[in-house]
Amino acid sequence: MVIPQESYMLADKASSPYYVKHVDPSRIAMEFYLTNQANQLSRRTNWFYTPEVMDWDSVSGLLKLERINGLIPLSIYINNTHQDLELLWKVGRALGTIHLQMKPSSKIKSIAPKPWCGRPEDQVIVHGDFNTTNIGCRSTDKRIIILDWSNGPALPFQCCIASRYLDLAHFVRSLLLQQSCMIKAMQRYPDRMNVFLQGYCDQTGIVVDFTKLFTFLVLLNHAIMKKQWRQRKIISFIQSCLVQPLFAVSRINKKWHKKLFCVDPKQMHYSYIHSRNEKNRRITT
- The contact set with ligand ATP (CB under 6 A) reads 19, 21, 51, 65-68, 71, 73, 133-134, 147-148
88 binds, among Mg ion, ligand ATP, none (CB under 5 to 8 A by kind): none
The burial class, CB within 10 Å (0-12 / 13-18 / 19+), for 85 is buried
d(Cα 125, Cα 162) in Å, to the nearest integer? 7
68 binds, among ligand ATP, Mg ion, none (CB under 5 to 8 A by kind): ligand ATP
Closest contact distance (angstroms) between CB of 67 and ligand ATP is 4
Concatenated DSSP letters of 44-81: S-SS-B-PPEEEEETTTTEEEEEPPTTEEEHHHHGGG-
Give the nearer residue to ligand ATP in terms of CB position, either 67 or 173: 67
d(Cα 197, Cα 195) in Å, to the nearest integer? 5
d(Cα 146, Cα 5) in Å, to the nearest integer? 26
65 binds, among ligand ATP, Mg ion, none (CB under 5 to 8 A by kind): ligand ATP
35: contact with Mg ion by CB under 5 A = no
Give the nearer residue to ligand ATP in terms of CB position, either 71 or 201: 71
d(Cα 121, Cα 164) in Å, to the nearest integer? 9
Axis crossing angle, helix 254-261 with helix 234-252, rounded to the nearest 10? 140
Cross-strand pairs, 53: 65
d(Cα 96, Cα 212) in Å, to the nearest integer? 17
51 binds, among Mg ion, ligand ATP, none (CB under 5 to 8 A by kind): ligand ATP
DSSP alpha helix (H) spans, the chain: 5-11, 28-42, 74-77, 84-101, 164-177, 182-204, 210-230, 234-252, 254-261, 271-276, 278-284
Contact letters (x/-) for Mg ion, 54-93, by CB under 5 A? Answer: ----------------------------------------
73 binds, among Mg ion, ligand ATP, none (CB under 5 to 8 A by kind): ligand ATP
d(Cα 237, Cα 221) in Å, to the nearest integer? 10
Give the N- to C-terminal CA distance of the chain in Å, as an integer: 38
Instruction: Return the number of other C-beta atoms located less than 10 Å from residue 89's C-beta.
Output: 26
Contact letters (x/-) for Mg ion, 118-157, by CB under 5 A? Answer: ----------------x-------------x---------
Give the nearer residue to Mg ion in terms of CB position, either 163 or 178: 178
Closest contact distance (angstroms) between CB of 73 and ligand ATP is 5
202 binds, among Mg ion, ligand ATP, none (CB under 5 to 8 A by kind): none
Give the nearer residue to ligand ATP in terms of CB position, either 64 or 188: 64
Closest contact distance (angstroms) between CB of 134 and ligand ATP is 5
20 binds, among Mg ion, ligand ATP, none (CB under 5 to 8 A by kind): none
Which residues in this chain contact Mg ion in the complex, by CB under 5 A?
A: 134, 148
